[in-house]
A = this chain, B = another copy of it.
């Protein structure tokens, strides 16, 4: 593979640089875990390539999201921090913001639609955040967020369209590339694009020749469509069991991925469930469906990965164990 110079990627306005990822790594070091990189000879044999899995289910709150949230929260100046942080996510990002705020000792407000599953709300409340309920529409959610922001003077931390969050997410790839030498492709799931953007900037800051690949469910393929058309596709309705991958690219993450990504590969729901099960069986790691999309893609696009040394970001492990039998049924 020809070595590309690092400056071969176009600048993207507002995007974090490699230095921001290094700064994020230092900032979150007292709070986040350095997760292990797992390897399985039997999975290598099945895939026909060498796979190194970054085990983010072992990160705090069970997902990489803690990295970006901690970088944003601990990067605030004291005066801003004292007014607290506001976010709209009731998923892993919401839990991550809640925990990071508790660790810093500042208020967190999480705006959540009234139909959010109770288990998610309980997790966020357990971390000490204030829940603000709203009608389950996008308009109500935005209006409620605006009201809370106005009332508190707090800081909005978006789950992915935020340079601080992207820089934090990039620290997972940084650690992986530190642990394993000679990685020539890095693959991560893509939804809003924060993880994949951070992964790409980290990788290309170290070695511009690394192929950075997104993995997306066929049934939520807006990132794939966006890169194919050269413009952000925002009118698709996702229909996937990957509850972490139903967002769409943001105005900041789209140009970053356009500049850095080799491609977005797709996998079917059945392929994703089969890959998830393989990871449970062979790596002994509990991963959520979203985290299995990269392996599903590798097994589907086998010839494109043959013989390569591939880094895989296993994004998270927050899955309802009672839902497993139903998921298995999808793979038959």
Closest to A58 in B: B284
Proximity string of chain A (305-326) to chain B, C-beta cutoff 8 Å, 1 when within and 0 when not: 0000000000001000110110
Q: How far is the CB of A156 from chain B (nearest CB, A)?
A: 27
- A325 and B36 alpha carbons, distance in the complex (Å): 29
A285 at the interface (CB under 8 A from B): yes
A281 at the interface (CB under 8 A from B): yes
Interface size classification for chain A: 10 to 19
Number of copies of this chain in the oligomer? 2
A280 at the interface (CB under 8 A from B): yes
Given A36-B36, A286-B286 in contact, is the A321-B281 Cβ separation under 8 Å? yes
A284: which of B277, B285, B322 is its contact (CB, 8 Å)?
Answer: B285
Closest to A60 in B: B41
Chain B residues within an 8 Å CB radius of A57 = 284
B38 touches A321 (CB 8 A): no
Chain B residues within an 8 Å CB radius of A287 = 284
Chain A residues within CB distance 8 Å of chain B: 36, 38, 57-58, 62, 277, 280-281, 283-287, 317, 321-322, 324-325, 328
- 17 extra interchain contacts, Cβ-Cβ under 8 A, other than A38-B58, A284-B287? A36-B36, A36-B58, A57-B284, A58-B283, A280-B286, A280-B321, A281-B286, A281-B321, A284-B285, A284-B286, A284-B317, A285-B285, A285-B286, A321-B324, A322-B328, A324-B324, A324-B325
